[in-house]
Structure 1
Amino acid sequence: MPAPDSRHPYSPDELAALYPSNLRLHLVHVIFRHGERTPVVPRFQNAGLAPFWPYCQATSRFKAAVMEPEADWSFLTFQRRMETFGKKGGNVVAMGPGGEKDNVCPPGELTDRGRETTLQLGQRLRHLYVHQLGFLPENLGTQSECYLRSSPIARALESLEQVFTGLYPSANRSPMNPPLTIYTRSFAEENIFPNNASCRRLDQLSRAFAKLAAEKWNDSPEMQHLQSRIGKWVDGKIAVDGHPNLCGITDTVNATLAHGETTKLPNEFYEPRVREIMDDITVDEWYRGYSQSSEYRRLGVGSLLGDVKDRMLSSVNDDTNKDGRLKIGLMGCHDTTIAGLLASLGGFDKKWPPFTSSIAFEMFREKRQNKSRNVFSKLFGATNEEEGWYVRLKYNDKPVYVKGCKMAGRHLEGDESFCTLTAFKEIVEKMVPKDLKDECLRNMDKTGIPPIEEVE
């Protein structure tokens, strides 16, 4: 679905409520879904939807690093055009719905709209953390203040580049700065999204929950409603495990909603009840496992949460405002990352994350420690180093209430959205696999749905 509506900056009253004067912001990690893209698979040409969309102007502005004679390096500027099979089997230039040959997007590519919304996310981060809070410097300082990471999928990397450009436009970056470092991993070692392809047990569990969703929904009144409204454009019966599957149909609907009128489906696809049913069923299929199985949480997002937690704990030992201290991490990821994190922490609204959705993990230090609260916190295992530290999550600018932080002594007095660092650490450590590769190969003899283990 389209990105969250751009909201106005926080008002002074909102800012004061969200950022109490007795807390000092110390570290931020922003994990965000990529921006709007084309459908990952072309569908519904029988409903008049063009297979190729002309929404990718970046394709006319590509540069590639190339080696010249004598081992010198330069940049090769080029534009890309897509080829496809013609009606008679020969190769032809792929064209958009109006005959466009340039700026044509392949399936799953970040579009101009996606670049716009991720740029806007970066601009919102700049306004908040630079202008309103004064947490980040006006101009980019040492690179060690920023941690940039993306999944190896192009739309996530390009979204990260756009978010960073919104946070630090070219006018606020010195040409004397060294090139940015952006971290990626191989697909086999990627943990920035639930990696079914490299984790056999996670894939097995995902298939089991998908089968459960099919058994629950395929013959339901809700699916019958979809069949009555959009079934004439689908070959066969609409189903969770149909062809196309319901998730694929939903993906195309959400992608078309975000773009121009020449790439729209018939009106029936956008009826509120149709969209509500599709969202409810696909969310149940993909994300029920996180709220029900501790193993699912560990294999899906536990490793990523562990990385965020480890940077927080390392930062506790560097409680200064000196130049060079890590202050912000930006991580370009996917919808399955966002929903998996929220569901694992008990703060999921059970709505599919829109394009450019973000979770900000903010860590704070108490300016003046309250002795009575420090004594109370020790009862819950806080170390001296962790006393007075808090973690707060915001999903699309709104605080997330982590389920395991609601108990007295595990949050900032008077505000349950601020977990104590100790409580957050304990919650996350229960999800972090000791050896992810090993756990991905365990329990393969256990078929079906695991026993219910609710998020604590």
Structure 2
Amino acid sequence: MTTLDPRPPYSPNELATLYPSNLQLHLVQVIFRHGERTPVAPRFQNAGLAPFWPYCQAASRFKAAVMEPEAGWSFLTFQRRMETPGKKGENVVAIGPGGEKDNVCLPGELTDRGRETTLQLGQRLRHLYIHQLGFLPENLGTQSEYYLRASPIARALESLEQVFVGLYPSTNRSLTGSPPTIYTRSFAEENIFPNNANCKRFHQLSLAFAKLAAEKWNESPEMQHLQSRIGKWVDGKVAVDGHPQLCGITDSVNATLAHGEATKLPNEFYEPRTREIMDNITVDEWYRGYDQSSEYRRLGVGSLLGDVKDRMLASIKDDTNRDGRLKIGLMGCHDTTIAGILASLGGFDKKWPPFTSSIAFEIFREKGHNKNRYTFSKPFGVKNKEEGWYVRLRYNDKPVYVKGCKAIGRHLEGDESFCTLTAFKEIVEKMAPQNWKDECLRNMDKTGIPPVEEVE
């Protein structure tokens, strides 16, 4: 999948169904994939694809915080140009397909198109949560009302900035207030994407599932079809573990589809059957583990889901009407985050998430529910403070049906998309590691594919 084609805003009838009058929205956490980007590595120059793309106007508008000898802190405005070794080893300015020297992108960089789509995501969130539902204030409130987080990869941070500006443009932010705080983590501690570079066991499992996919697909009729259509531009055979890898080919296809005609591959790469096969195989390679292994789910996205759950539980302790409490979280992440979460919860459509895909985690409180009236749970005498609370996920504006919430008593009566908070908490707590770093070093003596374990 490439660029997301978002649905129109909800109609009044749809809003009434999606947001029942007996439920009150309490907290929203939106996790989203970054916007359109260039390929993470230049490929297919033999097919006429330019290695450098001129779709990054931000490169001509950079600002850096610098220290002046007397004035203290100031900003240095500068323009970035790419440099590359020439044929004789000399340094030459990198140029785009039309001879462009300015606005040239880095590999994997958020492009102008990506900025547009993430801005539009923020605008859609503003329309829904401010204009239609009246849940968020018209103007940006205090820092305690929102939480901003991005991965340490630039395209995720820049996408977060664009979504935030779409939700609260400059006209709706105070010019004299404190600047918004954006949280990030070091790569070694990052859990906002499946971190196989810093989790040895997860990396080991990823390699095992990649090998399984290669064994399953490399000699298949589907791969033979790809070979017949695009094989002449590939070094050797088209394969899961080929050169480039099939996921790399898919990456270039999706990135080129999202941008201009000057950076397109030959037509064979875009044939519907070819794209369908590539998507099916790469999804199987990258995400089968979440269906099959509880350990894979724990190490891949369990820690992040645990953070989302903990933020929900903290929010219900706040008085619903108290000003300044957390109302919305925005988290800029990656495709592997989105698909990993959906697959782990049993709600994945097995299609690669398009650019700017999002999952909204919404928590609701039943109106009229007396917060001092609790049910009793085992052991007897322990009050259940979660009664009357529900969690619903929307993936690209469509409700997600979490597998573990389908049983009677684990969802809102009449609508399985609303998990009880208790059911959602139980599902996530089985998945969230107590110590992610410690678990990343366990089971290293185990090889091969873990036995099949159903998503609960």
User: SS at 2:107's partner residue?
Assistant: coil
2:374–2:384 CA contact under 8 A, matched in 1: no
User: SS at 1:452's partner residue?
Assistant: coil
User: SS at 1:416's partner residue?
Assistant: strand
Cα distance between partner residues in 2 of 1:287 and 1:19: 31
The alpha-carbon deviation at position 71 of structure 1 amounts to 6.5
The alpha-carbon deviation at position 383 of structure 1 amounts to 4.6
Equivalence for 1:285: 285
1:56–1:110 CA contact under 8 A, matched in 2: yes
User: SS at 2:384's partner residue?
Assistant: coil
Equivalence for 1:6: 6
AA aligned to 1:206 is: S
The alpha-carbon deviation at position 177 of structure 1 amounts to 1.4
Equivalence for 2:50: 50
Equivalence for 1:32: 32
User: SS at 1:35's partner residue?
Assistant: coil
2:6–2:396 CA contact under 8 A, matched in 1: no
Equivalence for 1:446: 446
User: SS at 2:197's partner residue?
Assistant: helix
1:262 aligned onto 2:269? no
User: SS at 2:179's partner residue?
Assistant: coil
Cα distance between partner residues in 1 of 2:192 and 2:370: 37
1:193 aligned onto 2:190? no
The alpha-carbon deviation at position 257 of structure 1 amounts to 0.2
The alpha-carbon deviation at position 262 of structure 1 amounts to 0.5
| C-alpha distance 149-380 of structure 1, shift in aligned 2 (>3 A) | farther
Deviations 1:335-368 (A, max 9, x none): 0000000000000000000000000000000003
The alpha-carbon deviation at position 324 of structure 1 amounts to 1.1
Cα distance between partner residues in 1 of 2:181 and 2:431: 29
1:142–1:323 CA contact under 8 A, matched in 2: no
| C-alpha distance 235-383 of structure 1, shift in aligned 2 (>3 A) | farther
User: SS at 1:280's partner residue?
Assistant: helix
The alpha-carbon deviation at position 176 of structure 1 amounts to 1.6
Deviations 1:20-47 (A, max 9, x none): 0000000000000000000000000000
Cα distance between partner residues in 1 of 2:130 and 2:379: 35
AA aligned to 2:455 is: V
Alignment of 1:416-455 (within 5 A): 416-455=416-455
Cα distance between partner residues in 2 of 1:34 and 1:118: 7
1:66 aligned onto 2:66? yes
Cα distance between partner residues in 1 of 2:129 and 2:335: 24
Equivalence for 2:134: 134
Cα distance between partner residues in 2 of 1:50 and 1:79: 22
The alpha-carbon deviation at position 143 of structure 1 amounts to 1.2
Cα distance between partner residues in 2 of 1:64 and 1:88: 34
User: SS at 2:148's partner residue?
Assistant: strand
Equivalence for 1:306: 306
The alpha-carbon deviation at position 322 of structure 1 amounts to 2.4
Cα distance between partner residues in 2 of 1:295 and 1:57: 42
Number of positions where the alignment pairs a residue of Structure 1 with one of Structure 2: 454
Alignment of 1:20-419 (within 5 A): 20-70=20-70, 72-369=72-369, 383-419=383-419
Deviations 1:356-411 (A, max 9, x none): 0000000000003499x986x95899953100000000000000000000000000
The alpha-carbon deviation at position 454 of structure 1 amounts to 1.0
1:380–1:410 CA contact under 8 A, matched in 2: no
Cα distance between partner residues in 2 of 1:188 and 1:411: 37
Deviations 1:200-236 (A, max 9, x none): 0000000000000000000000000000000011110
Cα distance between partner residues in 2 of 1:48 and 1:340: 34
AA aligned to 2:318 is: D
User: SS at 1:75's partner residue?
Assistant: strand
AA aligned to 2:198 is: S
1:156–1:333 CA contact under 8 A, matched in 2: yes
| C-alpha distance 284-370 of structure 1, shift in aligned 2 (>3 A) | farther
Cα distance between partner residues in 2 of 1:379 and 1:225: 58
Deviations 1:299-333 (A, max 9, x none): 00000000000000001100323221000000000
1:32–1:357 CA contact under 8 A, matched in 2: yes
| C-alpha distance 335-438 of structure 1, shift in aligned 2 (>3 A) | same
AA aligned to 2:297 is: R
The alpha-carbon deviation at position 89 of structure 1 amounts to 2.0
Cα distance between partner residues in 2 of 1:188 and 1:177: 33
Cα distance between partner residues in 2 of 1:275 and 1:68: 53
Cα distance between partner residues in 1 of 2:85 and 2:196: 32
Deviations 1:382-441 (A, max 9, x none): 953100000000000000000000000000000000000000000000001111111100
Q: TM-score, normalised by structure 2?
A: 0.97
The alpha-carbon deviation at position 86 of structure 1 amounts to 1.4
1:380–1:409 CA contact under 8 A, matched in 2: no
The alpha-carbon deviation at position 85 of structure 1 amounts to 1.4
User: SS at 2:29's partner residue?
Assistant: strand
Q: TM-score, normalised by structure 1?
A: 0.97
Deviations 1:83-138 (A, max 9, x none): 01112221100000000000000100000000000000000000000000000000
* Runs of 4+ with deviation above 6 angstroms: 379-382
User: SS at 1:425's partner residue?
Assistant: helix
Cα distance between partner residues in 2 of 1:222 and 1:276: 10
1:43–1:252 CA contact under 8 A, matched in 2: yes
Deviations 1:217-273 (A, max 9, x none): 000000000000000111100100011000000000000000000000000000000
1:374–1:388 CA contact under 8 A, matched in 2: no
